[in-house]
Amino acid sequence: MTTAHGFTPEFRRAVARELEDLSEDILWTEKAHFAHAEAHARINLWLGLTSTISASIAAATVLTEAAPVVTGAAALIAAITAGLLTFLKPREAELRHLTAGRQLNALRVRARQMIRIDLATSAPDDPRSWRSLPAEVASEKAKIDGEAPALSGRAFDRARTKIEAGHFEHESDSTQRS
């Protein structure tokens, strides 16, 4: 059967399937960015704590009769970790990954709304606008990916663990699958 616009009823389902596939791709990339952000936050914390504690030890031992080796070692550790913080900039990397993850999350929500609202069988037929929905989502994902920092396989592994454990499923997801 063909509609007045020349589209078959399967067209709506095909557009929805494409949006679902894009949503799955977005989910994996989004959660990998969040995993990368967590890793950078831990690096920042440990380097910052090590630097602060070492600098404090170096300063405290200068005023005591501690061995100069202790003061020197603590100062060296403080300098190395402070240098690593400056060079690696883990806080900035964390924020870039968080931003990408949040943008991807918003895009995934938009894709879900397209599927559940714009393509709902109770919604009026508008096949011409449906055709642009997957392209719009794919284009926005490509833009976000192009501006985002690179991801590691390790980040995808951490994301996979959480996704497969069901951490990001909505109760309504199970009622939508039929």
Q: Residue 2: left if φ>0, alpha if ψ -120 to 50, beta else—which one?
A: beta
Is residue 174 in some structural domain?
A: no
Is residue 3 in some structural domain?
A: no
Q: Residue 52: left if φ>0, alpha if ψ -120 to 50, beta else—which one?
A: alpha
pLDDT at 11: 92
Is residue 21 in some structural domain?
A: yes
Is residue 175 in some structural domain?
A: no
Is residue 19 in some structural domain?
A: yes
Give residue-wise pLDDT tens across range 78-131.
999 999 999 999 999 999 999 999 999 999 999 999 999 999 888 888 888 899
Cβ neighbors of 2 (< 8 A, separation 6 or more) are 8
Is residue 50 in some structural domain?
A: yes
Give residue-wise pLDDT tens across range 55-88.
999 999 988 887 899 999 999 999 999 999 999 9
In the chain, how many domains are there? Answer: 1
**Above pLDDT 70, what percent of the chain?**
90
Range of the domain at 56: 10-169
For residues 27 and 66, the model is more confident at 27
Is residue 146 in some structural domain?
A: yes
First to last CA, the chain: 22
Is residue 178 in some structural domain?
A: no
